[in-house]
Amino acid sequence: MSSPVRRVAMLSAHTSPLEQPGDGDAGGMNVYVLELARRLAARSVEVEIFTRATSSSQPPIVEALPGVLVRHVAAGPFENLDKHALPSQMCTFVRDVLRVEASHPAGWFDAVHSHYWLSGQVGMVARDRWGVPLVHSMHTMAKVKNAYLAAGDCAEPVGRVAGEQQLVECSDRLIANTQDEARQLVELYGAGADQVEVVHPGVDLDRFRPRPRPEARRELGLDDDADVILFAGRIQPLKAPDVVLEAAARMIHGGRRDRTVVAVVGGPSGSGLERPTALVELAARLGIADRVRFVPPVAQDQLALWYAAASLVCVPSYNESFGLVAIEAQACGTPVVAARVGGLTTAVHDGLSGLLVDGHDPSDYADAFVRVLDEPGLHPSMSSAAVRHASRFGWEVTAERTLEVYADASHRLYALPQAVGQ
């Protein structure tokens, strides 16, 4: 039997899709949840996003977009609650999620889509209570993060590992961003190969698009002839922004001081909150403070302007489940130099739309920067290839594939009683 998906409960417990990406716990997942919801709503699927309230001034319900409601659930103290303390608040969170469904006619939601392991704990309860399929997106996985820890980062707790294992066992379908992530779910967590579906995240191709670089630079106060190296994202050891500064320092002290500018767009996050000025201090120690421009997190339209203004974007993360920054930058026609890890091997077409670097030696990144900037004909060629490559990742495709996963999960769930009866 089939079950049309008309309403989806989307769970994003630890971070709201309405938060500014690039600061605190807000990042690519926030963009993912909101953009996916937007495209589902455009297909007449009503989406209610449940997230934890972080301020007493937040309204309980916000219509983020036509067909998309964001519900701020009061669970624990509004402010200054560390992410590692959030598991203790999930019982309160799930209680309010269940209350919302109980206030509607029976069978209100047709599917639950949880994002990140904390939301998945809530999703497992909702699935059993409502009798609807649970689709889960990990976004990041503890076993993978622990295998690629950056210096100064803390290992993910065993409670998270256990929680993720439960999710793999209980979810009707798991959405992986890439084939690499699908393989990790099977090999590290024992997921069934038929349980995992690969659905690439998307990029807003209307917002992130090529525009004349001189025009973008004039708006941002950057010199037309500068080599602008951009890092965009949360400032924390996992994202390795220090590698960008150290690589740029090698270029600057190698005779390129007058022409090199490093732009860091983002705010401290995660373990980076313990030393929020560490990157500024590093720039001073390296003797490049006069060539580095630190910019707080910006809105998406302004971020697109920074991508267009940059000569190249660097994504040297120790691990990325996909790497939305890389795709967004390429959609703007800007080549990317990235670490050869996780989803970045899918997000960047090595040698065509950018360069992938093994490891995190700043000298290797400096060499890659110089190659992109100086090798005759390479930058314009990569710029054109970047736009073509990014065009494959529109959110429309992501939404269509996600709806297919919802339908498949429904068939799986509703077929179980019949299978048992046989």
**Which residue ranges are tagged as binding site?**
14, 20-21, 25-30, 83, 116, 140, 160, 234, 239, 298, 307, 310, 320, 328, 334
At 85, list the tokens: 């303390």
d(CA 265, CA 193): 39
Residue positions forming the annotated binding site for 1D-myo-inositol 3-phosphate: 14, 25-30, 83, 116, 140, 160
| 3-class secondary-structure state, position 341 | coil
Residue positions forming the annotated binding site for Mg(2+): 307, 310, 334
Residue positions forming the annotated binding site for UDP-N-acetyl-alpha-D-glucosamine: 20-21, 28, 234, 239, 298, 320, 328
- Decide: 67 and 88 in contact? Cβ < 8 Å: no
- Decide: 347 and 407 in contact? Cβ < 8 Å: no
